[in-house]
Amino acid sequence: MQNALFVTPSGNIGCMMNLADEPMFDCGVKSFMESEQFGIGELGTPRWMMEILGGYPREQTEPPLYDDSVWPAGSESAEVVQYGEVVNHGPFVCAVEETGVTCWDSESGRGAWLERDEVVFF
């Protein structure tokens, strides 16, 4: 399976992991769309999508892949990962807690801590 998609029980944080030729490891924090925590991008919308591998926030004007609206009716929804659980997809790992989500690439060690009001890249 190329893609792994999940959301937290609150729905505030969702992640997309893709193992294709150009790996993608992005997590969105919906609360940043309102707070504009990372400012407004070139397209005039908030930076609310976090590039885990790149270590920066970016704009995303279309719905993310973990949003049901991007798939045809009847498609399987993104998995709701419960607090205390860990998601593994290839080298990508995310640990979901009530206070936030820690995601990292087990090969490079790069990652991020994501919560309602803050993101810390490492």
What is residue 77's predicted lDDT score, i.e. its pLDDT?
Answer: 83
Domains of the chain, by residue range, sit at 3-121
Distance of alpha carbon 74 from alpha carbon 82, whole angstroms: 23
* Tokens 């992005």, residue located: 26
Q: What is the mean pLDDT of residues 33-56?
A: 94
pTM comes to 0.90
Tens-place pLDDT, residues 95-108: 999 999 999 999 99
